[in-house]
Structure 1
Amino acid sequence: MVPVDEDNKPVGNAIIGFDARGQESVPLLRDKLNDRQVFDIAGHGINSFHSIFKILWRRDHDPDTFARTKRFLSFGDFIQASLGIEPHIDYSMASRTLAFDVKKLDWSPEILSAVGLSTDLLPPVAAPGTNLGTLGPNDLGLPEDCVVAAGLHDQPAGILGAGIQPGESMLATGTVICLGVHLEGLPEAQAMVENNLCYYPTLGDGQYISIAYNFTGGSLLKWYRDNLAGDELPEAKGCGKDPYDIICSGLPENPTDLLVLPHFATTGTPWLDDRALGAILGMRLTTTRKEVVKAILEGLLHEIRLNSEIYAEAGVDIQLYKAIGGAARSETWMQIAADILGRP
C-alpha cells in the first residue's frame, strides 16, 4: 500500500505483501477476532501479508509518515490517482487487505475497529470494470476521452481470462506459482481456514474465486539462472533462444533423488509461514545442474499437488488444469506438471 497525502502524492515508500514488516501487528487483530470470525467476514484467515498489517506497522513504527497520510492506496489505485482520476480500489484487491467484507462488498467496520483503524484511511470501492472517468488532456499520447476503469487482482483476472469453469483450475506460473478455481458455492469454511485458503469476489455478481499459491514460483528458476547456470546462458545467447528453454532442456527422464523445499520467498498455502526458508536436500558430489533444475520443478509442483488435495477435502475437485504464464510455453514444465498432478 502506498501512503499518500490529500493530493494523492506519496509521503513514504510502499510496503509489499511478503515484506516481513507487520508480523508483530497480527496479535492486535487476533486478540479481538479469531481466524474463523475474520474468515467469515473477509474470506481470508489472518496473516501478516495482508495490507491491514502494513498499515498498522506504519502507524506504530513510522508515526511521522502515518500522520501525513490521508489514505493508503494499492498500486492500481495509485496509478489511477497519478492519471488524475479519483482513486477507487476494486473488490478483489480490497479483499486482499483483510479489511473488506466479501459478502457486503464494502469495508468491514468490525475488522477495522478491532485494530483501531478507520475507513477514512482507505479509498472507495468499485466493481471491476467500473468507468472511473476519462483521461482528459495528457502526455501519454492517448485520446482525451480514453476511459480509466477499475481493474482486478492479477490471479482472478487470470482465472477469468482462462475461462475457468467448475472442476477446472488455472495453473499460473510467474514470480509466484498459483492455482485458481471458480467456486460454485461458498466453500467448506473450516477446511479453508485450517489451510489458509481464501475466497473472494471478482465482478460482484455473486461469483467467488479461490487461490492457492507458493510465493516462490518462477522466481526460483530465475534464482538458478542468475546463480547456478553455467554454459546454458552463452548457449542461449549464441542460438538466440530463451535461456529458460535451454535450462529446462535435457532434464533426467526419471524423478530425481533430490528434495527441493521451494520456500525461498517464505511459503504460500497451506502454511503461510513467513519464517520458513528454502532448501535443496540430497545433494551428492555427482549431482548435476540438470538434476537440480528438475528437482526445482518437482518441488514447486508437489506443493501445487498438496494444495489440490486440500481443495478436494474442501469440496473443490479439480479435473483439469489450464496453464497460463511463462511456463505454459514449456512442454517440459507441462509434462512434469501433468505427471505430478495426475491430471491433464
Structure 2
Amino acid sequence: MSFMGLDIGTTGCKALVISESGKLITRAYAGYHLLHRGPGLSELDPDEVWRAACSVIREAASAASNAGDPVVAIAPSVLGEAVTPIDESGSPLSFSTTSADMRGADEIQQVGTMIGAERLFQITGHSSHPMFTLAKLLYWRRAEPDLYRRAQKFLCWEDMFFYRLCGRCVIDYSLASRTLLFDINRKTWSDEMLSASHIEREVLSETVPSGHLVGYVEKEINKELELGLPEHCALVAGGWDQGCAALGAGVIEEGVALDNTGTTECIAVVAKGSSISPRLRQGHYQVVPHVVPDLYLISGGSLVGGMLLQWYRDTLGGYEVEQAARQGIDPYDVILGQLSPAPSPVLVLPYFAGAGTPVFNPNAKGVFWGLTLTTTREDIIKGLIDGLGYELRQNIEFIKGCGIAVDRLHVVGGASRSGFWVQQKCNVTGCTAFVPGISDASALGAALLAGHGIGAFDSYNTIISKIMDHATEKKPDPPIYQLYTRSYALYHELVSSAIAMLGE
C-alpha cells in the first residue's frame, strides 16, 4: 500500500506518493492561473484548481496502482488563508481569494484595534493583516452582502477538498490558525474573535488535529471523477503548506528550523507550547500549531528569495544568460558558479519588496553599499546572496533572543539544489544544514500525515529518520564564519541606519 500527499499551491498542485518505507513511488503536477482582475485582487478559479487536483490524483493513483502499490490514504497540504464561499448546493459564489488579496484591509484593522495587538497575538499567534481569511469575510459582508447572506460555508482549500470527496467540512488546526479566528492555545475557534468580528461559527468548518482520519472517498464520487482510487481510500487531515513542509523536511524537534527558499525565503522554527515570548510579536513573527502534535512553529522570513536572483538575471545578468546559452546550461548555474565563499565587499539590503521579519517594514527599499570603481559583477551577485544570508541570521538571532533554540537548518526549495548556496547559509549563520533526499517537502509531509492517519507509521520519528538517512549534510567553515560575523555586524548597523532614514 502507499500514501498520497496532495499539495495545493498558489499556481499549481502536485501529488506525491510514497511507500510504507518512505520511498518515492511517483509524483504528478498540474498548473493553473493566478488571477489579478483589479488592483489589490489576487484570486484562483476554484473550478480550475479542482480540475487540476483531480488530474494529479488520477495520474498519481494510476502510476501507484501500476507499480503494485495502490494508494490507501490521501492528505492535503494547502496554501494558507485562501478562502471560497459556497452556497447550500456546494457551488462557489466567488473566486477563491489568496493571501496577496488586500480586500478587507480597513475592516481587519478595526477588529485588530478593538481586540488590541497584544491580546490578538495571545489568542491567534498573529498580528492584524489583510492577508488573513477573516479580512475577506469582513469585506464580503460589507461590500457584497447578498453573497455573504447566501454563503452556507466559507471554505479554505483543505475543507473544500474534504467536502468535495466525502461531504464533510473539516479543517486542521494549522490551517485554521491562518484565518485569524482560531485560538492556538485552546485549539478551537475563538469565541472572542468571533464575537469581535460578528462571524457566525456555523459558517466555519469543524477543526481537528493534523493526521486525524476524516473519512473515506465516496464510491460514487470516485467513479464520477474517474479518480481510480481503490475502495475505502482514507481521507486524512493535512495542514498548512509550511507546516507540512516542516514535517516533510524532518523539522519535528526543538532546535531545528525549516529554511524554505523559493520565490521568497521562509523560516519556521520548532517550539513547544504556545506560551511563547511576547517579544515575537514585536518582530512580527507568527505562531502556528505544527502538524505534529504538541509542537508549534515560529514562522517568519524575507519577502524575497529566489526572486532576487531572477531580478539580477533579468536586469543585469545578460552576460550570464549568454554564457548559459552557449554552454546549454541554466543561467543560475553560471551566476552561482563564479562566486567566492568569502563575504562580498558589497553589502546589499535585500528589501526589494519591503523588509520581512523582524524589521517588517513595507516601505523599506533595497540598498547597495560599498560600490567602488573596482566592484565586479561577482561582488554584486555575491552581495545579493549574502544579503539573504544576513537576513536569515538576523531572524535566527532574534528568535534565539526570545529563548527558542536554533542550531540546525533543514533546507528545502530552489536553494537546496545549489550546494554552494546551502554552504553559504551555514557559513553566514554558523548552523549545520541538512538537505532532505526527497524534494517537494510539503507534498511529502502530507503523504506522511496520510500514512500516520491510518496507523501505518508507529511514529513520525521512525519514518523521518529513514528519509533523513539520505539527506546531505553541510557544516560551517570556521574561518569563513568568522569573516561573516564581522561583516554581519556592519550589515546590522546598515539596517538600523536605513530604517532610521524612513523615520520608522
Matched, 1:160 2:247: yes
Deviation per residue, 1:102-147 (Å, 9 max, x gap)? 1221111101211221222222212212222222223223324322
- Shift in Å at residue 330 of structure 1? 0.8
State whether residues 154 and 204 of structure 2, in contact with CA within 8 Å, keep that contact through their aligned partners in structure 1: yes
In structure 1, runs of 5+ residues without a counterpart are none
Equivalent of 1:61 in 135, 143, 147: 143
Equivalent of 1:128 in 178, 194, 210: 210
Q: Say if 1:87 and 1:288 are closer, same or farther in 2 by CA, change over 3 A.
A: farther
**Alignment partner of 2:239: what SS?**
coil
The equivalent of 1:182 in structure 2 is 270
Matched, 1:142 2:259: no
The equivalent of 1:26 in structure 2 is 108
Deviation per residue, 1:208-239 (Å, 9 max, x gap)? 22222223222333343445432434544555
**Alignment partner of 1:163: what SS?**
coil
Q: Say if 1:343 and 1:108 are closer, same or farther in 2 by CA, change over 3 A.
A: same
Partners of 2:378 and 2:148 lie apart in 1 by: 49
Code of the aligned partner of 2:142: D
The equivalent of 1:17 in structure 2 is 99
- Shift in Å at residue 186 of structure 1? 3.9
Q: Say if 1:83 and 1:218 are closer, same or farther in 2 by CA, change over 3 A.
A: farther
Of stretches 312-321 and 295-304 in structure 1, the one that deviates more from structure 2 is: 295-304
Deviation per residue, 1:279-328 (Å, 9 max, x gap)? 24346777655444322222222221111111111101212222122211
**Alignment partner of 2:160: what SS?**
helix
Deviation per residue, 1:140-172 (Å, 9 max, x gap)? 233243222221112222222232322221211
Q: Say if 1:28 and 1:334 are closer, same or farther in 2 by CA, change over 3 A.
A: same
Partners of 1:264 and 1:3 lie apart in 2 by: 34
**Aligned ranges 1:56-135 → 2 under 5 Å:** 56-135=138-217
Matched, 1:309 2:397: yes
The equivalent of 2:130 in structure 1 is 48
Partners of 1:76 and 1:269 lie apart in 2 by: 27
Matched, 1:341 2:341: no
Which one has the bigger strand percentage?
2
Partners of 2:144 and 2:154 lie apart in 1 by: 14
Equivalent of 1:194 in 268, 274, 282: 282
Partners of 1:226 and 1:143 lie apart in 2 by: 47
State whether residues 258 and 280 of structure 1, in contact with CA within 8 Å, keep that contact through their aligned partners in structure 2: no
Partners of 1:94 and 1:335 lie apart in 2 by: 36
Partners of 1:224 and 1:312 lie apart in 2 by: 32
CA RMSD of aligned residues (A): 2.6
**Aligned ranges 1:200-279 → 2 under 5 Å:** 200-203=288-291, 205-233=293-321, 235-236=323-324, 239-273=327-361, 275-276=362-363, 278-279=365-366
Q: Say if 1:61 and 1:219 are closer, same or farther in 2 by CA, change over 3 A.
A: farther
State whether residues 277 and 403 of structure 2, in contact with CA within 8 Å, keep that contact through their aligned partners in structure 1: no
Q: Say if 1:304 and 1:58 are closer, same or farther in 2 by CA, change over 3 A.
A: farther
Deviation per residue, 1:10-35 (Å, 9 max, x gap)? 21122222333332223321232112
**Alignment partner of 1:189: what SS?**
coil
Q: Say if 1:110 and 1:160 are closer, same or farther in 2 by CA, change over 3 A.
A: same
State whether residues 3 and 69 of structure 1, in contact with CA within 8 Å, keep that contact through their aligned partners in structure 2: yes
Code of the aligned partner of 2:241: D
State whether residues 261 and 299 of structure 1, in contact with CA within 8 Å, keep that contact through their aligned partners in structure 2: yes
State whether residues 91 and 204 of structure 1, in contact with CA within 8 Å, keep that contact through their aligned partners in structure 2: no
- Shift in Å at residue 54 of structure 1? 2.4
Code of the aligned partner of 2:149: A
Code of the aligned partner of 1:51: T
In structure 2, runs of 5+ residues without a counterpart are 1-82, 433-504
Partners of 1:227 and 1:66 lie apart in 2 by: 45
Report the structure number with the largest CA radius of gyration.
2
Of stretches 257-266 and 214-223 in structure 1, the one that deviates more from structure 2 is: 257-266
Partners of 1:131 and 1:76 lie apart in 2 by: 13
Partners of 2:426 and 2:193 lie apart in 1 by: 41
Q: Say if 1:262 and 1:141 are closer, same or farther in 2 by CA, change over 3 A.
A: farther
State whether residues 85 and 132 of structure 1, in contact with CA within 8 Å, keep that contact through their aligned partners in structure 2: no
- Shift in Å at residue 277 of structure 1? 5.2
**Alignment partner of 2:385: what SS?**
helix
Code of the aligned partner of 1:196: H
The equivalent of 2:15 in structure 1 is none
Q: Say if 1:253 and 1:162 are closer, same or farther in 2 by CA, change over 3 A.
A: closer
Q: Say if 1:340 and 1:143 are closer, same or farther in 2 by CA, change over 3 A.
A: same
Q: TM-score, normalised by structure 2?
A: 0.62
**Alignment partner of 2:102: what SS?**
coil
- Shift in Å at residue 247 of structure 1? 2.5
Aligned length: 343
Q: Say if 1:272 and 1:120 are closer, same or farther in 2 by CA, change over 3 A.
A: farther
The equivalent of 1:36 in structure 2 is 118
